[in-house]
Structure 1
Amino acid sequence: PGSQLEQATPAVPRIFFGRDLLIKEGADYVTNNAQAFLAILGPGGIGKTALAQKIIDIEAVKEKFEKRCYFIPCDILPNVASLIQAMLQCLKIPAEEGKSQGEMLNDYLQLNARHTLLVLDNFETLWYSKGGRASVQTFLEKLFNFKHLCILVTMRGPDGPGNVEWYKLGTGSGIPPLSADAARNMFFAIAGNKYDLSEKTKAVDKLLKELDYVPLAIRLIAQRAKTSPLKSLLRMWKEGKTSILREGKEDFSRLTSVEYSIQLSVNLLDEDACNLLSVISFLPNGIPMWVDNLGNMLPNLENLDISVAELLECSLISSNGGNIYILAPTREYIQRKYPSKADETMVLLETFYIEWMRGVVANKSNMNKELQLHILNITKILNVQIGKMLKEEHIEVVEFLGQAPKFYAAVVEVIDNILVNIQDMNINQKNNLQFIKVDVLIWNAKWIEAEDEVRSIEEKNGLNHKNITARCFQKLGNIYEMQNKYNEATDMLSKAKTQFEEIGDWLEATQCLQRLGEIHRMQARYNEATEMVSKAKTQFEQIGDQLGAAQCLQSLGNIYRMQDRNSEATELLSKAKTQFEQIGDQLGAAQCLQRLGDIYRMQARYSEAIETLSKAKGQFEEIGSQLGAAQCLNGLGDIHYMQDRYSEATEMVSKAKTQFEQIGDQLRAAQCLQSLGDIHRMQDRYSEATEMLSKAKTQFEQIGEQLGAAQCLQSLADIHSMQDRDSEAIEMLSKAKTQFEEIEIGSQLGAAQCLQSLGNIYLVQDRYSEATELLSKAKTQFEQIGDQLGAAQCLQRLGDIHRMQDRYSKATEML
């Protein structure tokens, strides 16, 4: 009866986010085609019904069909006869004696040729009904023949019903989940902007991500958030998962319970498909490239291809780019209700991934891309199987993963699982795992944790194991080097090198020599650096270590770059980049690209610099190097600064600063703050500049970075000078000059600039003799360090002094 249809038709949702483009796309298709067949496809709870209601509510759709849009909820219709009856009721077709319902409908549609839109909602109920598909398909074929009749169908599955070409809304897998922003907006619109929640947006975002941004799940969890504090809500989700995603206490429907909605699809499966679904639900990444991998992963399961087709038809799995996967709410429910119980399956998955990892490591150039698809599966299987019994192969897989920095977070999780839970591991295995963990911590700029881990290895092994002691010295040297603690780094790496030489480990000894060369480069001791790195390169070549040789070539390129020998630097860095690419070392190649970008920047070849640094940034992001990406971002900010594009510079340097802070790199974060202060200074925004530079100076002092602190003091002095506060400027410049002179490395330029600024202040004050003395000293110092621009500026000012004193011949000569 009509009342049933009315009751089963949900209200048009008032709270609706993130679907504007899909609504427009659907409405445009329906209005611009004389006969439209629109399919809104996807899993339960994805918002198909709501989307259909919003499309038919668009003004253009209403104009085309006037009042001839009919919404039919098919989930209450068991067969074709009931569908025909429902259509007669919607169309208000009166009964005629001597005619069947099918004939009455047919006559009506032939006589009434005005545009009509039929919305068949939840059509899978009929399509998969026990009465069979043939009668449903025959009826649909008859409807398709009425050229004025448009049909909008919503259903679970990858395709619309019948033999007609449907316009499928959304992606290849149907309607996608919401975006993170739309999911958050929907959550807060339902839950209300309670202080408790808006203050904890990060926790809410994490919860919504765990729900895979599925609209029904978000609506139901948001309803609970109205009465439950966030902490309680998070605990409920952790403990109850999908069982809490429901509304009311009984008589659940597909709109009031996520589990009810999922179970409707599960009820359609045969045993083989159900078994496969259980396994896929265990795998967070699903089955990547399933056509190639599924048979190798699960040789114990039967009828795999048929089962995949069945799961896709029921929208219990989604397909994208050849990968099949399950959305989070379905995955959680299936794992709880239909867990995969076969130990044999776990062993097969473990065996598959061990062999798969060996193959991936053999082709390093594609390693990150391949691992991205499988990493969550690998770590989950590893953690489960390690809990049963640790195998040599598990350690082997961890060592493989240790070669992929992008996935270091996953590596640490597995290592900690082993170290905490496995007691009967031999000391060598334990040491190797801890050293991998140290590398991960260094990569993530967690210096204190990395040093603590090394100290724990030292403590455990004592001083009797020369190899372990040498590796500890080496790791500590690397940690200190990354923090610019060059004396401590040199001491540790020298000790490590000596011990490696004593035990005949020439590869590790050579690596220490290379790092010592790098430290000398950072200290501007270029001759010693060149000698050490060249020697290391020769030794790597003799040992046959291509990676080490390429790294030395890269170091030599950087030494020439620091000496402004740009053509030689470019040649060596380009050659090193090629070698890194040939051996599949993406990090080395990206670093070379970054340094080439820096050279172009210093040569004022800005378009090439931007292109190169942007490319390097992309490569760093691809391999998960936040540090490299942030450095490129900072470099791009510097280019905009040099071109007086201050808003772009501010945006990029601010982003870089945030990234440095996230990885705990205090030095570079302070340098970004310093750059931001200088950008404000150049725009005459002196109060903001002063605040930022003062803050940066304090941060530099706290981490013992004297050069940065002196540079900030110099910039603050320039601000005072620009504001005609000469006495404060002179005091600050004198102090900054003294600080530059006390610093050994990289400070001559700063000292010369302070002399130049002091000379300029005295010149403005008509104190010509003092100005002449200071500017002459500054000119000499600029010449000594090869800064032609600084020297020329001083010469210009000295000429001005002679001109102001009417000494025109000398002024002419200088100018």
Structure 2
Amino acid sequence: PPPPTHLYGRDQYLDDIVTSIMTKLSSGASAHLIIRGPGGVGKTAIARAVLHHPSIARAFGSRRLFVTSEGRDTSSLLLSAIATELGLAINSSSNLLKEIISSFKSDSRHLLFVLDNVETIWYSQDQTAIRDLLQHLASIPSITLLFTIRGSEQPYPVKWDPLPPLGALSPEAAHEAFSTIAGGRTHSCLDGLLKGVDYMPLAITLLARLAQIGESVPSLCDRWQSERTGLLQLSRHDPEENMGLSIQMSLTSPLMRGNPRNMWLLSLVSYLPGGVPVRNLSDMMTVAQTELSPAIHTLKRLALVSEDPSHSLKAHSLTQAYVSEHHPP
């Protein structure tokens, strides 16, 4: 894939990843890094920026592999995609995993393997097969791994190098992104609008593109108050151009669907934007705390909620707005 057209407020995060990779290479080792975060935060853009970074291009040359798991929710589909990128012949009698690992091991030159949208396959029913693939990949000294995953999880059993989850933009970077894309349009209400969308890159990009094609900033501010996430769409079918679809992808993941209490709890937390003390949830939902704990864990894994220092559970603003409208308690 091409490098991202714009990358705002991510210089330090990008530099940290490149430095980690290059430091490991200089010692003859390989980094294992995973970019985590909610949908719409820019994980794929960072991965593409790393792929095309001058230092990475010099270090790996043509030995840079990018595969997306999106739309590939079985191990056979993912392995076929990897085999295709490696130029391996695929037939019905192929043991794809064996052939892929053999191909990787046959060349001792360093290789960067970027696997995007890992959640698609990691949370599927094929997790055992994928765990096997990860173990094999992580055991090959010449392979540098850079994965992205929607959520907060670091797939086991890979020993991942330290990398904090990717968070929202700073207010300054959010303003820069909006202004650049929107052609310099601004207004006194813009501060509140950007804060209202949690400074999330996808939401800011969609708002700025609406301004770019003629919507005034005051109009966007007014529409946000009434339409919320319904405003944040330029396409009905592409989650890269529709914030609601991006959120819905998390809500319909196999992990989320595995327990009906997951959506029940998220609906309740979203209905109370100030947050809910974890200790009060059991009484509010009239179920035992032991029954709620798995649901809390799932919502955190998918980065749909966070727990603040006072142990209150809170949905992120865009999730809260979407779930309140489409999945009320």
What TM-score does the superposition give when structure 2 sets the normalisation length? 0.90
CA pair 31-97 structure 1, distance change in 2 beyond 3 A:
same
Q: Is the 8 A contact 2:134 2:158 kept in 1?
A: no
Structure 2 CA distance for aligned equivalents of residues 257 and 191 of structure 1? 18
Q: Is the 8 A contact 2:206 2:233 kept in 1?
A: yes
Question: Given the alignment, which residue of 71, 87, 105 partners 1:92?
Answer: 87
CA pair 246-113 structure 1, distance change in 2 beyond 3 A:
same
Q: In the TM superposition, what is the alpha-carbon distance from 1:168 to its structure 2 partner?
A: 4.4
Structure 1 CA distance for aligned equivalents of residues 225 and 72 of structure 2? 37
Structure 2 CA distance for aligned equivalents of residues 181 and 126 of structure 1? 35
Equivalent residue number for residue 406 of structure 1: none
Question: Given the alignment, which residue of 121, 132, 139 partners 1:145?
Answer: 139
Bigger radius of gyration among the two: 1
Structure 2 CA distance for aligned equivalents of residues 18 and 274 of structure 1? 33
CA pair 309-19 structure 1, distance change in 2 beyond 3 A:
same
Which AA in structure 2 matches 1:280? V
Whether 1:121 and 2:116 are equivalent positions in the alignment is yes
Within-5 A mapping of 1:6-155: 9=1, 11-33=2-24, 34-94=29-89, 99-129=94-124, 131-155=125-149
Equivalent residue number for residue 215 of structure 1: 201
Q: Is the 8 A contact 1:157 1:315 kept in 2?
A: yes
Q: Is the 8 A contact 2:66 2:115 kept in 1?
A: yes
CA pair 66-327 structure 1, distance change in 2 beyond 3 A:
same
Question: Given the alignment, which residue of 311, 327, 330 partners 2:316?
Answer: 327
Equivalent residue number for residue 160 of structure 1: 154
Within-5 A mapping of 1:153-552: 153-170=147-164, 174-194=165-185, 197=186, 200=187, 202-226=188-212, 227-248=214-235, 250=236, 252-268=237-253, 269=256, 270-287=259-276, 290=278, 293-295=279-281, 298-301=284-287, 303-321=291-309, 322-340=311-329
Q: Is the 8 A contact 1:117 1:151 kept in 2?
A: yes
Which AA in structure 1 matches 2:274? N
Give structure 1 stretches of 5+ with no counterpart. 1-8, 341-815
Q: Is the 8 A contact 2:282 2:292 kept in 1?
A: no
Within-5 A mapping of 1:597-608: none
Aligned-residue sequence identity (percent) comes to 28
The one-character-per-residue Cα deviations of 1:731-777 (angstroms, maximum 9, x if unpaired) are xxxxxxxxxxxxxxxxxxxxxxxxxxxxxxxxxxxxxxxxxxxxxxx
Q: Is the 8 A contact 2:80 2:90 kept in 1?
A: no
Task: Kindly indicate which of the two structures has a greater share of residues assigned to strand.
Answer: 2
CA pair 132-101 structure 1, distance change in 2 beyond 3 A:
closer
Task: Kindly indicate which of the two structures has a greater share of residues assigned to helix.
Answer: 1
SS in 2 for 1:67: coil
Q: In the TM superposition, what is the alpha-carbon distance from 1:298 to its structure 2 partner?
A: 2.7
Q: Is the 8 A contact 1:187 1:219 kept in 2?
A: yes
Structure 2 CA distance for aligned equivalents of residues 262 and 143 of structure 1? 30
Structure 2 CA distance for aligned equivalents of residues 106 and 319 of structure 1? 40
The one-character-per-residue Cα deviations of 1:309-344 (angstroms, maximum 9, x if unpaired) are 11112221134545532221111001111112xxxx
Structure 2 CA distance for aligned equivalents of residues 212 and 334 of structure 1? 15
The one-character-per-residue Cα deviations of 1:703-731 (angstroms, maximum 9, x if unpaired) are xxxxxxxxxxxxxxxxxxxxxxxxxxxxx
Q: Is the 8 A contact 2:69 2:116 kept in 1?
A: yes
Structure 2 CA distance for aligned equivalents of residues 298 and 221 of structure 1? 36
Structure 1 CA distance for aligned equivalents of residues 134 and 280 of structure 2? 36
CA pair 299-60 structure 1, distance change in 2 beyond 3 A:
same
Structure 1 CA distance for aligned equivalents of residues 118 and 220 of structure 2? 34
Structure 1 CA distance for aligned equivalents of residues 223 and 94 of structure 2? 57
Q: Is the 8 A contact 1:281 1:326 kept in 2?
A: yes
CA pair 181-93 structure 1, distance change in 2 beyond 3 A:
same
SS in 2 for 1:167: coil
CA pair 13-228 structure 1, distance change in 2 beyond 3 A:
same
Structure 1 CA distance for aligned equivalents of residues 10 and 123 of structure 2? 28
Q: In the TM superposition, what is the alpha-carbon distance from 1:273 to its structure 2 partner?
A: 1.0
What TM-score does the superposition give when structure 1 sets the normalisation length? 0.38
Give structure 2 stretches of 5+ with no counterpart. none
Which AA in structure 2 matches 1:28? T
Q: In the TM superposition, what is the alpha-carbon distance from 1:98 to its structure 2 partner?
A: 6.4
Structure 2 CA distance for aligned equivalents of residues 239 and 150 of structure 1? 46
CA pair 294-21 structure 1, distance change in 2 beyond 3 A:
farther
SS in 1 for 2:137: helix
SS in 2 for 1:161: coil
SS in 2 for 1:176: coil
Structure 2 CA distance for aligned equivalents of residues 148 and 319 of structure 1? 38
Query: Which structure is higher in RCO with an 8 Å CA cutoff and minimum separation 6?
Result: 2
Q: Is the 8 A contact 1:71 1:120 kept in 2?
A: yes
SS in 2 for 1:236: helix
RMSD: 2.0
The one-character-per-residue Cα deviations of 1:39-82 (angstroms, maximum 9, x if unpaired) are 10011001111111112222221222112111111112121111
